[in-house]
Amino acid sequence: GAGVSQSPRYKVTKRGQDVALRCDPISGHVSLYWYRQALGQGPEFLTYFNYEAQQDKSGLPNDRFSAERPEGSISTLTIQRTEQRDSAMYRCASSLELAAGYEQYFGPGTRLTVT
Amino acid sequence: AQSVTQLGSHVSVSEGALVLLRCNYSSSVPPYLFWYVQYPNQGLQLLLKYTSAATLVKGINGFEAEFKKSETSFHLTKPSAHMSDAAEYFCAVSETYKYIFGTGTRLKVLA
């Protein structure tokens, strides 16, 4: 595709509900990354995939957060039993290769608000 | 451990004046360094990156940055600010696949 797309762009949910955030990377990009950006902060790494394999999930805050990329393309970040502290901008990025120095292309983000 | 410090969460310049956004990094190995720009309601867009080929890196929209190892800095500059440069700018460091971002600097351009 022309760029990384994310859906929904905005999500308001009530505390305790589950949410699923979707990322569609640039076609042909093998690596996909999830970041979370709190207000007034820079993006913070959550997890990444090389093809369909999740190779680092050290940034996921707790076990309510999970991510998958079953066919090596579209990825879903799921947050179970949402809490107000989960409110943030969730950003997805993709890169052509998994290697240091390769630039990551970012999507527009999903702004999650938990009420 | 890697880290990035961006001095000044808000910077204001007059249109036509020099833009200087500061970034200092910490890394145990020679790092890759990036500057991204974020316009409202848009994703992060890469301005430029340093990958050890040259210490002075030129990017898009007239921006450039100079890698100074002795100062562990990678400051972003532009000789003459335009109104369209108003945005939030993020510096990032990477030793591997993972980016570590600074907290960002919001640039305001005054007419």
pLDDT (tens digit per residue) in B87-106: 999 999 987 888 999 999 99
Assess whether pLDDT exceeds 90 at residue A101: no
Task: Inspect the interface and report whether the beta carbons of A100 and B95 lie closer than 8 Å.
Answer: yes
- Give the minimum alpha-carbon distance from A10 to chain B in angstroms, rounded to a whole number: 11
- Using DSSP's 3-state secondary structure scheme, residue B89 falls into strand
Minimum distance, in Å, between the CA of residue A40 and any CA atom of chain B:
7
pLDDT-based confidence at A1, cuts 50/70/90?
low
Which 3-state string (H, E, C) describes B19-88? Answer: EEECCEEECCCCCEEEEEEECCCCCEEEEEEECCCCCEEECHHHCEEEEECCCCEEEEEECCCCHHHCEE
- Per-residue pLDDT for B27 more than 70? yes
DSSP SS3 for B3: strand
Nearest CA in chain A to B90: A42
CB contact under 8 A, B46 and A105: yes
- Give the C-alpha separation, A51 to A46, whole Å: 17
Using CA atoms, how far apart are residues B52 and A74, in angstroms rounded to an integer?
33
CA distances from B99 to A2, A3, A102 (A): 23, 19, 11
Please answer yes or no on whether A101 and B9 come within 8 Å at the CB atom: no
Rounded average pLDDT over B74-80? 97
What are the E-state strand segments in A29-71? 31-37, 44-50, 53-56, 65-68
Mean pLDDT of A64-85: 96
Q: Are strands B44-50 and B32-38 parallel, antiparallel or unpaired?
A: antiparallel
End-to-end CA distance of chain A: 34
Helix (H) or strand (E) holding A3: none
Helix (H) or strand (E) holding A69: none
Query: Residues B39-52: what's their mean pLDDT?
Result: 88
Structural contact between residues A106 and A3, judged by C-beta atoms closer than 8 angstroms: no
Partners of residue B34 in chain A, C-beta under 8 Å: 103
Contacts of A108 (CB under 8 A, 6+ apart): A5, A6, A9, B41, B42, B43
Q: Using CB atoms, pick whichever of B51, B99, B103 lies closest to residue A45.
A: B99
User: Residue A100: pLDDT above 80?
Assistant: no
